Chain A
Amino acid sequence: AQSVAQPEDQVNVAEGNPLTVKCTYSVSGNPYLFWYVQYPNRGLQFLLKYITGDNLVKGSYGFEAEFNKSQTSFHLKKPSALVSDSALYFCAVRVRSGNTGKLIFGQGTTLQVKP
């Protein structure tokens, strides 16, 4: 079965420290991987995606993610966390369905950045 796992319900970091939010996937074929962020009572905002090419993908707000095929992981990273980065983060993998694609989401990881 195709799936996405985010093993941590919550990640706590101090402002200015690097952050990592973990994601692993299980999918047949080449994966298309996405990260989204959600602030309270808001819709999801697209951060970045991996389709092919360079394993290190750069996205919005200084975030980046590293695709690791051997470990089937796509961890989200940022060199220096900000308090404003505190939010709910979702990893997703695209699976084909007929003539379109569907996203399968992980359960989300709450990032708490403390001053």
Chain B
Amino acid sequence: SQTIHQWPATLVQPVGSPLSLECTVEGTSNPNLYWYRQAAGRGLQLLFYSVGIGQISSEVPQNLSASRPQDRQFILSSKKLLLSDSGFYLCAWSVRGHAETQYFGPGTRLLVL
């Protein structure tokens, strides 16, 4: 069966520090991968998605970047964190197709102080 991992689970970082969040998927090949941010426990905002290694689409201009160095690895990064980067970051994967369901990881809680 497929599983998705995210780490760390919780992170507290000072403003201006770098960031690296990792997401890996097991049990599937060539997944579509997604990064979302959830602010204040409510709506989800799609940040990036990827349909293959090295292929990244950005949804909103921001202080963050994403990379996909391997088929089942998706990384969210920042060179300098802002206070507004605080939130709950969720990674998701889906099988490629016309009606694919997205399956979410456990999330990373980021607090920027």
Q: Which A residues have a C-beta under 8 Å from some C-beta of B?
A: 32, 34, 36, 41-46, 49, 51, 88, 90, 94, 97-103, 105-108
Contacts and interface: CB of A to CB of B under 8 A. Distances in A.
Nearest to B88: A41
A49 B44 contact: no
Contact of B99 (A94, A98, A105): A94
Contacts of B101: 34, 46, 49
A45 B104 contact: yes
A108 B99 CA distance: 22
Contact of B90 (A32, A44, A49, A102): A44
B107 A32 contact: no
Interface in B37-54: 41-44, 46, 49, 51
B32 interface: yes
Contacts of A101: 94, 98-100
Interface in B89-106: 90, 92, 94, 96, 98-106
B103 to A, nearest CB: 6
B51 A41 contact: no
Interface magnitude class on chain B: 20 to 34
Q: Which of A97, A98, A101, A107 lies at the interface centre, i.e. has the most chain B CB atoms within 10 A of its CB?
A: A101
A102 B98 contact: no
Given A43-B104, A100-B32, A100-B49, A105 B98 contact: no
B43 A107 contact: yes
A50 B106 CA distance: 24
A41 B99 contact: no
A34 B103 CA distance: 12
Contact of A42 (B49, B92, B98, B106): B106
Given A45-B104, A100-B49, A51 B43 contact: no
Nearest to A4: B43
A45 to B, nearest CB: 7
A41 B107 CA distance: 8
A106 B38 CA distance: 12
Contacts of A49: 99, 101
